[in-house]
């Protein structure tokens, strides 16, 4: 059974845990945006094919079949996307061969790719759920919600291409919470080695290539500061202008303002992010949590509205998040409607039932409380002892009610933990 860490006031639990996945490896830039590489148009696929593939990805991840899940990826295309920007220059291509070899070893021999990380998360209780499919900028994508047991949230757009054989394969993943593709994350990870390789052939680089790699190194140094006391806002001023509006640069600044509890600067960074990247989900994922934790619920709901619009599909989990915010605002009736809608659309989603339990106690609808407690046990395996409802209004009235006493009397002893 998944560890949902329920032994805490569940009314506030989502506020502490609703967050984007950690940044891990920031970007070093648009992979093909600055390259003259010609990219062939992908083979067309039908909506039925794409939907079936999305369902196949989810089922394979849940089955924990590592070989089948790995086979869903086209690793050659993935590695090409990491290095294609640099391999246009033959001298650089030769110089970074060790980097290519490392990638090929990691992703085709040692089986330690992003697929392994996804399977490990799912194996540890994360919910990896296919939500939607779409075509954007000549790319076919399947959209997944990535929800960990501690309720950290991310969305991933898996980029899909049809092979000559007719098979569909994943060639990259756009992590919507970090504003970058996994290929870009790896490109950034290997940037020190790529930079050194450029230096070994610097006499064979044109001015544009020299400038590009030097500027990328500056961005790398900004995103991986070596001194703890470095002020990123001062370092930001030294960045080349082309990077000052970049997603991961601004998200890096936003995270710094959160850590240093500087709401004024956070608002400033958020405004810049929305200016450069309107309708982008990354800042909104961060802002829902930030504004909820600072009890600015109005802005939390506004960020949630933007996030919902940005992912361009209905996600019942966001209905549940809205219910939690509305509970904090005291709008219990509306919170109940959103929690109920979430459980109706996705019956095997845990979080709405927690809100429904809270709401029913607060409204003294104790018959509903008992019903939801039974659902929590039969559907998800959680006992009453796993919950902490003691901070809820009317909790004492609930434990003193005939409904609770009758229900408690027929409960078997709690299983040992």
Q: What is the pLDDT of residues 213-268, one digit of tens each?
A: 999 999 999 999 877 677 899 999 999 999 999 999 999 999 999 999 999 999 99
> What does pTM read for this prediction?
0.86
pLDDT value at 324 more than 70:
yes
Judge if 20-30+43-224 and 314-408 fold alike in CATH terms.
no
How far is 352 from 323, CA to CA, in rounded Å? Answer: 8
Q: Say what angle helices 75-83 and 97-104 make with each other, to 10 degrees.
A: 150
Pick from 4, 14, 11, 3: which is nearest to 304 by CA? 14
> pLDDT tens digits, residue range 168-204?
999 999 999 888 999 999 999 999 999 999 999 999 9
List CB contacts of 223: < 8 A, sequence separation 6 or more: 26, 188, 248, 249, 252
| Helix pair 47-63, 114-123: axis angle to 10 deg | 60
180 contact partners, CB below 8 Å, separation of at least 6: 26, 27, 174, 247, 248
| Distances, alpha carbon 377 to alpha carbons 6, 113, 363, 380, in Å | 13, 36, 22, 6
Cα angle 340, 10, 336 (rounded to 5 degrees) comes to 20
| Closest C-alpha among 143, 188, 172, 157 to residue 74 | 172
| Sequence-separated (6 or more) residues with CB below 8 Å from residue 16 | 293
Pairing outcome for strands 180-181 and 139-147: unpaired
Cα 252 to its chain centre, rounded Å, is 16
Question: 20-30+43-224 is classed in which CATH architecture?
Answer: Roll (3.10)
pLDDT in tens, 4-51: 223 333 334 433 333 333 333 332 233 233 333 445 667 889 999 999
Tell me the sheet residues that pair with 152.
19
CA nearest 28: which of 216, 209, 214? 216
pLDDT band at 416 (very low <50, low <70, confident <90, very high): low
At 415, the pLDDT band (50, 70, 90 cuts) reads: low
3-state secondary structure at position 373 = helix
Tally: H helices and E strands in the chain = 22, 6
Highest mean pLDDT among 39-48, 228-237, 318-327, 406-415: 318-327
pLDDT at 226: 76
* Phi, psi angles (nearest 5°) of residue 210: -65, -45
State whether residue 156 is helix, strand or coil.
strand
Q: Where are the domains of the chain?
A: 20-30+43-224, 314-408
State how far the alpha carbon of 57 is from the alpha carbons of 11, 107, 163, in Å.
Answer: 33, 18, 17
- pLDDT for 110: 61
Cα distances (angstroms) measured from residue 221 to each of 26, 188, 208, 218, 274: 11, 11, 20, 5, 24
- The CATH classification number of 314-408 equals 1.25.40.10
Cβ neighbours of residue 213 under 8 Å, at least 6 residues apart?
Answer: 194, 195, 198, 205
Q: How far apart are CA 79 and CA 58, in angstroms?
A: 23
Per-residue pLDDT band for 417 (boundaries 50, 70, 90) equals: low
């Amino acid at each position: 059974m998944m560890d949902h860490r329920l032994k805490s006031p569940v009314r506030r639990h989502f506020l502490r845990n609703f967050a984007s996945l950690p940044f891990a490896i920031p970007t070093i830039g648009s992979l093909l945006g600055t390259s003259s590489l010609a990219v062939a148009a992908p083979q067309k696929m039908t909506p039925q094919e794409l939907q079936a593939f999305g369902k196949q990805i989810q089922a394979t991840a849940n089955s924990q079949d590592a070989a089948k899940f790995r086979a869903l990826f086209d690793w050659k295309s993935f590695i090409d996307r990491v290095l294609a920007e640099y391999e246009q220059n033959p001298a650089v291509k030769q110089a970074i061969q060790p980097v290519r070899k490392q990638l090929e070893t990691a992703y085709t021999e040692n089986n330690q790719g992003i697929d392994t990380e996804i399977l490990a998360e799912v194996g540890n209780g994360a919910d990896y759920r296919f939500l939607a499919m779409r075509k954007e900028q000549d790319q076919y994508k399947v959209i997944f919600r990535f929800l960990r047991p501690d309720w950290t949230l991310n969305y991933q757009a898996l980029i899909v291409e049809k092979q000559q054989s007719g098979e569909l394969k994943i060639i990259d993943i756009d992590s919507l919470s970090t504003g970058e593709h996994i290929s870009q994350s790896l490109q950034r990870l290997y940037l020190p080695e790529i930079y050194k390789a450029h230096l070994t052939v610097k006499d064979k680089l044109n001015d544009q290539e020299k400038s590009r790699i030097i500027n990328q190194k500056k961005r790398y140094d900004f995103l991986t500061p070596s001194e703890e006391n470095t002020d990123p806002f001062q370092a930001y001023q030294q960045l080349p202008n082309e990077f000052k509006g970049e997603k991961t640069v601004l998200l890096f600044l936003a995270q710094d303002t959160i850590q240093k509890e500087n709401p004024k600067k956070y608002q400033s960074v958020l405004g810049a992010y929305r200016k450069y990247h309107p309708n982008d989900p990354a800042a909104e994922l961060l802002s829902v949590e930030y504004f909820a934790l600072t009890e600015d619920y109005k802005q939390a709901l506004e960020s949630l509205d933007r996030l919902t619009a940005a992912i361009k599909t209905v996600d019942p989990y966001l209905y549940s998040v809205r219910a939690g915010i509305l509970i904090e605002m005291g709008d219990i009736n509306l919170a109940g409607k959103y929690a109920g809608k979430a459980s109706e659309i996705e019956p095997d989603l845990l979080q709405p039932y927690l809100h429904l339990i809270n709401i029913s106690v607060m409204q003294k609808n104790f018959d509903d409380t008992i019903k939801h407690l039974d659902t929590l046990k039969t559907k998800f395996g959680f006992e009453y002892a796993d919950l902490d409802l003691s901070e809820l209004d009317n909790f004492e009235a609930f434990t003193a009610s005939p409904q609770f006493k009758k229900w408690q009397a027929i409960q078997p002893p709690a299983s040992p933990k």
